Structure 1
Amino acid sequence: MLGVYMKYSSACEKTRAEFSKDVFFSMREFFRFAVPSAGMVCLEWWSFEGLILLSGLLPNPELETSVLSLCLTITNLQYYIPYGFAATASTRVSNELGAGNAQAAKVTVEAIMVLVVAEMVFLAMILFFCHLVLGYAFSSKKEIVDRIADMGPLLCLSIIMDGLQAVLSGVARGSGWQDIGAYVNLGAYYLVGVPVGVVLAFVVHLKGKGLWI
């Protein structure tokens, strides 16, 4: 439906592109940005999945994997809001920088950050006030509900930090800094985050909470 709209709508008349052999010559430049962009996103998601796998090595693995999986589900549900802002920021920033309007790009970043911080704080407050009963949306087992409630403050902090990270990743992509972002995510998640989580979970014995921290 989108293809038909772009092909025949008058709104796309000035930007409609016919297929050309130039497509093949521009693929190299496309992949130069696409591969690091995919790396930024994948490195982040894979680290969360890895933590859930690691939770299977903890005592009472059924409980630990259930709790971490539910925590990931909760954060995923809200993540698409800042991710949508990030897509907008990426497009807007790249357009403004391409047009030589650095000041307009800066204003865009500031506006997006204000919107996302307001939305994340509002959502985190709702989650915090509901964290004692939040687990019942997913399970009727009191043990799981209690553990989700215990994780509530951490989830609220995660939502705020994930929102900021999502938007700043969008800004980085719009600025053409995908390769830097991929290296930052590699270092942050795999050289710092996961090892610290392992130490907190298995050495300090914070279990699933340690992995999430």
Structure 2
Amino acid sequence: MSSVYSFDADAGDIRQIKKVKEFIREFYSESKKLWYLAAPAIFTIASQYSIGAITQVFAGHVGNIQLAAVAVENNLIAGFAFGIMYGMGSALETLCGQAFGAKKLEMLGVYLQRSWIILNATAIPLTTLYIFSTPILKLLHQNPHISKAVGTFAVWMIPQLFAYVFTFPIQRFLQSQSKIYVMASVSDVALVGHVLFSWLFMLKLRWGLPGGAVVLNTTWWFMAVAQFVYVVSGACGDAWKGFSQRAFQNLTGFVRLSLASGVMFCLELWYFVALILIAGYTKNAEVSVDGTSICMNISGWTLMVGVGFSAAISVRVSNELGAGHPRTAKFSVVVATATSLFTGIILGLIPILFRSRYPPLFSKSSSVQKLVYDLIPLLGFTIALNSLQPTLSGVAIGAGWQSYVAYVNIVCYYLVGIPIGLLLGFVFNKGVKGIWYGMIAGTVVQTIVLIVMVLRTNWNKEALLAGDRIKKWEADPQPVEYS
């Protein structure tokens, strides 16, 4: 009996080893697919985010008021519009991704054109936010000198708003087909040119903020035009066959999904933008706004890694669900979650280890530098915590859960995080640190809720829902008419 038992035990060990080896092999295979999408997506979104941040850096060398003006416009005015445009455009991540997985390539171009129509219609009323930004900020009791400078700069930046309209849908269109290296190349070229011309116009020629506005608008329109030329050049095959009348069909349903996507993303983006707005109510508002915005810039740069993973996992999940592969979609989520969390922990340690190096890069003011130095430990923890959240949001986008996550964000961010931050910051006199502690509390609760949602997901059911969604959004069985 002992020999038989020993044989069975050995056989069991061998089976376990084989299972472990198979898991490692599958994990490695999925990791390659994930990084193939995530790496260029990270470069793309980091380059685009850095464009505004670079302008802010140069503005800091022009003066403190100029720095505050660009920081508030970037994070509040343009940030508000960016969130709406980027979020509404993310409806294409669900629709184009699942259609591509189901081999319904002809629908990708139709979806892209529908998104352009809806985003243009949305951008027109948003221009009022730019035009009336000074009275809006004064109504919110922001510093009057900063509000006036922000209002002037915001009017100059209206062309950037309409560049968002075309850029973000095209990126989702390309992303769903795994053509992310094209996006990365265009963004990287734009970033290099932006740094050079920002230095030339803002500092060398001493044009200040007007020069920064000219360069910033030009950079964004360069990206929009370059990507559009690539799409219409025929490089996307059956995914783009020209302009179609079907773009005007089923717009009501498309608007609903776009709005759900926009609300979901905006609630996440505005949550940390609110930190800068609330900082404007603290003592010595100019220093608080400058110091907080610098930390948010650093956090934003590292958050781009998480956003890259979000883009990658949304493509993987939507493609696999559209193709009817629920098991693969589920395994993709496991790999992406583990990878993004590990990466976030590493990134969170970097600002803590080099905390004395960052402040002088952004401001000449010793008061601003000291505040940034004090906030760095909180920044490092935030970076590590936020590493997981974008990946989980990417899963939601790939599966089409935008409306559910929007409700989660409202409760966790705005009914938990901000009230706790206000309580700690103003009632207990903890200032910017207290406000930030509250924001972290909201993020922790939201992350836990999203993890529970993913763990309870029936992926077989999600694959069936994806198939139904593709049929619904085809609009009609007639042949596509192109011009």
Per the normalisation by structure 2, the TM-score is: 0.42
Q: CA 1:88–1:27 in 2, change beyond 3 Å: closer, same or farther? A: farther
Q: Do the aligned partners of 2:425 and 2:434 also contact (CA within 8 Å) in 1?
A: yes
- Pairwise mapping of residues 27-66 of structure 1 onto structure 2 (< 5 A)? 27-66=251-290
Number of the residue aligned with 1:146: 370
Number of the residue aligned with 2:302: 78
Report how far residue 150 of structure 1 moved: 1.7
CA distance in 1, matches of 2:322, 2:410: 28
SS in structure 1 opposite 2:388?
Answer: helix
1:119 maps to amino acid: T
Say which of 412, 420, 434 aligns to 1:188.
412
Q: Deviations over 1:146-190 (max 9, x none)?
A: 222221121111112222111111111111100011111111111
Q: Deviations over 1:175-206 (max 9, x none)?
A: 11000111111111111111111000001111
1:2 maps to amino acid: Q
Any unmatched runs of 5+ in structure 2?
1-225, 438-483
Q: Alignment length, in residue pairs?
A: 212
1:31 maps to amino acid: V
- Pairwise mapping of residues 77-96 of structure 1 onto structure 2 (< 5 A)? 77-96=301-320
1:105 maps to amino acid: A
Q: Do the aligned partners of 1:133 and 1:149 also contact (CA within 8 Å) in 2?
A: no
Number of the residue aligned with 2:230: 5
Say which of 422, 439, 442 aligns to 1:198.
422
Q: Do the aligned partners of 2:232 and 2:242 also contact (CA within 8 Å) in 1?
A: no
1:6 maps to amino acid: V
Q: CA 1:32–1:128 in 2, change beyond 3 Å: closer, same or farther? A: same
Number of the residue aligned with 2:431: 207
Number of the residue aligned with 2:192: none
2:236 maps to amino acid: C
CA distance in 1, matches of 2:250, 2:318: 18
Q: Deviations over 1:30-72 (max 9, x none)?
A: 2232111111121222232323222222222222222211111
CA distance in 1, matches of 2:282, 2:291: 12
1:186 maps to amino acid: I
Any unmatched runs of 5+ in structure 1?
none
Say which of 114, 120, 137 aligns to 2:338.
114
Number of the residue aligned with 1:22: 246
Q: Do the aligned partners of 2:344 and 2:386 also contact (CA within 8 Å) in 1?
A: no
Q: CA RMSD in A?
A: 1.9
SS in structure 1 opposite 2:385?
Answer: helix
% of aligned pairs identical? 37
SS in structure 2 opposite 1:100?
Answer: coil
Report how far residue 75 of structure 1 moved: 0.9
1:53 maps to amino acid: L
CA distance in 1, matches of 2:317, 2:364: 46
Report how far residue 121 of structure 1 moved: 1.6
Report how far residue 85 of structure 1 moved: 1.6
CA distance in 2, matches of 1:20, 1:142: 58
CA distance in 1, matches of 2:423, 2:370: 24
Q: Do the aligned partners of 1:96 and 1:102 also contact (CA within 8 Å) in 2?
A: yes
CA distance in 2, matches of 1:26, 1:161: 39
Q: CA 1:18–1:74 in 2, change beyond 3 Å: closer, same or farther? A: same
CA distance in 2, matches of 1:139, 1:174: 40
SS in structure 2 opposite 1:40?
Answer: helix
CA distance in 1, matches of 2:299, 2:377: 13
Higher RCO structure, 1 or 2 (CA under 8 Å, sep 6+) = 1
Report the more deviating stretch, 182-191 or 200-209: 182-191
Q: Do the aligned partners of 1:201 and 1:208 also contact (CA within 8 Å) in 2?
A: yes
2:230 maps to amino acid: Y
SS in structure 2 opposite 1:188?
Answer: helix
SS in structure 1 opposite 2:249?
Answer: helix
Q: Do the aligned partners of 2:313 and 2:333 also contact (CA within 8 Å) in 1?
A: yes
Per the normalisation by structure 1, the TM-score is: 0.90
Report how far residue 18 of structure 1 moved: 4.1
Number of the residue aligned with 1:131: 355
2:421 maps to amino acid: G
